[in-house]
């Protein structure tokens, strides 16, 4: 234990160079070892990270699948060509299911553990029952014989998915190797596009099937990420931070030792990481950081709360939801109406978004969070304005229709420009909102508020998504391109918010340590209090340890004399 104390005292940061000292301390502890994610025992940890990130895949699959199903004649005829409010319900019910699980999912992660939260199963009987909800929902959805059955199935898919969506980002952040953490967390949302790619190209491959299996096959494929996770659940360890928070220090040491230190219990990295976790969690407990009211008690936490809510709203209200769930209506509006073309474009968009998300995730620590958010919101605003203008030009040129309903003399150049600006918009969306919409809140939230903060994030996200699901199809059906003006104005609001509220959390070698983030959000005095309390606690712990050692030596000496 003395090694733990010595390491922490030696690396206690000062005001002027906190990130540098921590980075140098970590570098010294690593001792020049190659920590590439694809080498040595890190390959095992990387595989585990991939399994955790699969929780995001189902969400991406759902949006892309619903886009694809809306292009299929078999699906439309089977459900009587749903439009407007009916189509909105088809998409919104998944979000309603997700929202219904929020009161339970956060507590599940905090009380039963992150791993249990992801799979909602395999450890406790209740979690086992709930973990199958997603797979059951997909099975019922596939076997659906009528509209109510299909809608009920989508409710259960959303309900089950929330548990993983809340727990997975936290577990990925808390389990990742220190030098991999920022990239792994940034990749979480990006993984949703793998689900989108699978759904889009599955639908593209099945649209030629003349029976209802053209849409039932994509539906059953939605279970794939959950099946993979359930099969390999025992490969995934529990979060060491959660274990420490529950007083299971030895278990936390075993997890860090096995997955970060290749089983070497004498590795100084083991004590370095453990002491950081121990002190951060103890500090938050000492400050009462575990209650909901903590979000309102300090200026810094109110700032964090505003950012968390904004991220949940922005990722849905930036305009991406129009593409995610109602691309068919957008393409119909510019004259692209064939099933083959629409499913092909959907597939290409998913691949494009995935590539953009991967690229952005890899440069998060080089470019910085604030620059990425400002570039993203400004770029989206400009490209959406161009998208809106071109849509207006096309709409005004396509007023005359032939007997089949095809526009006569439509400005196809304007329609093609709309498609082009959709890709430009998605590029800028991917700069920040793919890698950082989850990662940034996780960075700024202290451990004691992390799951509560992510619950608030999910409430904001699902509430915004529910609004989108109902409003978007009705508005697009009623006023067409004029609805896009709302997004142009809103994106300007997002840029303004990001300019004033997004603080840079990038250090020279990764995210800033906890003390420096405290300084950013709560001020220098709070950072000073943080350091003083940590140092005081270290000093007290050292004295207690020394007293225990003296008492032990005295007892041993008395035992020897007695013998």
pLDDT at 125: 28
Q: Which long-range contacts (CB under 8 A, 24 or more apart) does 257-263 make?
A: 259/41, 259/44, 259/45, 259/48, 259/175, 259/177, 260/45, 260/177, 260/178, 262/40, 262/41
Looking at residue 557, its pLDDT comes to 63
Residue 16 is assigned to a structural domain of this protein: no
Average pLDDT over residues 42-51: 91
121 domain residue, yes or no: yes
In a domain, 532, yes or no: no
- Give the rounded distance of the alpha carbon of 270 from its chain centre: 27
- pTM, to two decimals: 0.74
Q: What is the mean pLDDT of residues 233-249?
A: 89
pLDDT band (50, 70, 90) for residue 127: very low
Under the banding of pLDDT at 50, 70 and 90, the label for residue 11 is very low
Whether 205 is in a domain gets the answer yes
**Average pLDDT in the chain:** 80
- The highest-confidence range among 207-216, 325-334, 494-503, by mean pLDDT, is 494-503
Among the listed residues 318, 315, 313, 521, the one whose alpha carbon sits nearest the alpha carbon of residue 436: 315
For residue 348, CA distances in Å to 31, 327, 351, 355 come to 44, 12, 5, 11
| Ranges 288-292, 521-525, 559-563: which has the least confidence | 559-563
pLDDT given for residue 100 in this prediction: 85
- Residue 436 has a pLDDT of 92
Instruction: Determine the pLDDT at residue 421.
Output: 96
Q: What is the three-state SS of 25-88?
A: HHHHHHCCCCCCCCCCCHHHHHHHHHHHHCHHHHHHHHHHHHHHHCCCHHHHHHCCCCCHHHHH
Kindly report which listed range (12-21, 106-115, 393-402, 514-523) carries the lowest average pLDDT score. 12-21
The answer on pLDDT for 540 being more than 70 is: no
Is the pLDDT at 124 greater than 50? The verdict is no
pLDDT at 547 over 50: yes
- For range 182-186, the mean pLDDT: 82
* Mean local confidence (pLDDT), 497-522: 79
The domain of 107 spans 2-11+52-236+287-522
SS3 category, 557: helix
520-535 core/surface letters (b: 16 or more CB in 10 A; e: else): bbbeeebbeebbeebe
Give the pLDDT of residue 312.
94
pLDDT of residue 544: 64
Whether 359 has a pLDDT exceeding 50, the answer reads yes
Overall number of domains in the chain: 1
Closest CA to 410 of 439, 511, 402: 402
Residue 43, domain member (yes or no): no
Query: Does residue 254 sit within a domain?
Result: no
Q: Is residue 280 within a helix (H) or strand (E), and if so which, with residue range?
A: helix 268-286
Give the domain CATH number at 71.
Answer: 1.20.1250.20
Mean pLDDT of 45-70: 85
| 282 domain-assigned | no
Cα gap 489→335, rounded to integer Å: 26
Give domain status of residue 392, yes or no: yes
């Amino acid at each position: 234990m003395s090694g733990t104390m010595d390491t922490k005292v030696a690396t206690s940061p000062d005001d002027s160079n906190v990130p540098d000292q921590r980075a140098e301390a970590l570098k010294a502890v690593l001792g020049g070892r190659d920590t590439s994610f694809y080498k040595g025992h890190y390959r095992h940890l990387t595989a585990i990270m991939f399994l955790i990130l699969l929780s995001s895949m189902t969400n991406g699959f759902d949006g892309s699948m619903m886009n694809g199903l809306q292009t299929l004649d078999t699906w439309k005829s089977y459900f009587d060509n749903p439009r407007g409010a009916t189509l909105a319900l088809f998409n919104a019910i998944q979000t309603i299911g997700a929202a219904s699980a929020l009161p339970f999912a956060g507590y599940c992660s905090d009380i039963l553990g992150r791993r249990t939260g992801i799979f909602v199963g395999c450890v406790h009987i209740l979690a086992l029952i709930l973990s199958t909800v997603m797979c059951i929902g997909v099975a019922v959805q596939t076997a659906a014989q009528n509209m109510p059955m299909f809608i009920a199935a989508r409710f259960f898919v959303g309900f089950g998915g929330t548990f993983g969506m809340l727990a997975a980002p936290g577990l990925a952040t808390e389990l990742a190797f220190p030098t991999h953490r920022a990239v792994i967390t940034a990749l979480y949302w990006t993984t949703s596009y793998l689900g989108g790619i699978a759904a889009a190209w599955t639908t593209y491959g099945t649209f030629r099937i003349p029976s209802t299996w053209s849409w039932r096959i994509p539906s059953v494929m939605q279970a794939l990420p959950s099946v993979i996770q359930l099969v390999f659940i025992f490969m995934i360890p529990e979060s060491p931070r959660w274990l420490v928070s529950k007083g299971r220090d030895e278990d936390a040491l075993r997890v860090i030792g096995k997955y970060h230190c290749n089983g070497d219990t004498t590795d100084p990295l083991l004590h370095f990481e453990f002491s950081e976790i121990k002190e951060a969690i103890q500090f938050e407990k000492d400050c009462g950081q575990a209650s909901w009211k903590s979000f309102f008690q300090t200026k810094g936490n109110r700032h964090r709360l505003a950012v968390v809510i904004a991220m949940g709203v922005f990722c849905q209200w930036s305009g991406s939801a129009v593409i995610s769930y109602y691309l068919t209506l957008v393409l119909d509006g510019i004259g692209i109406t064939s099933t083959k073309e629409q499913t092909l474009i959907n597939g290409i968009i998913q691949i494009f978004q995935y590539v953009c998300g991967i690229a952005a995730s890899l440069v998060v620590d080089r470019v910085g969070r604030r620059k990425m958010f400002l570039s993203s919101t400004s770029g989206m605003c400009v490209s959406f304005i161009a998208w809106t203008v071109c849509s207006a030009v096309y709409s005004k040129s396509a007023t005359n229709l032939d007997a089949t309903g095809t526009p006569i003399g439509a400005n196809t150049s304007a329609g093609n420009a709309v498609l082009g600006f959709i890709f430009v918009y998605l590029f800028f969306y991917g700069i920040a909102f793919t890698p950082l919409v989850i990662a940034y809140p996780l960075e700024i939230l202290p451990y004691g508020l992390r799951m509560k903060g992510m619950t608030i994030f999910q409430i904001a996200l699902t509430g915004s998504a529910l609004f989108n699901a109902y409003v978007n199809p009705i508005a697009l059906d009623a006023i067409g391109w004029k609805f896009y003006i709302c997004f142009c104005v809103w994106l300007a609001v997002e840029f303004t918010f990001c300019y004033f509220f997004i603080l840079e959390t990038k250090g020279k070698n990764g995210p800033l340590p906890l003390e420096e983030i405290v300084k950013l959000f709560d001020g220098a005095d709070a950072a000073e209090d943080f350091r003083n309390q940590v140092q005081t606690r270290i000093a007290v712990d050292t004295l207690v340890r020394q007293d225990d050692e003296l008492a032990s030596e005295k007892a041993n000496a008395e035992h020897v004399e007695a013998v």
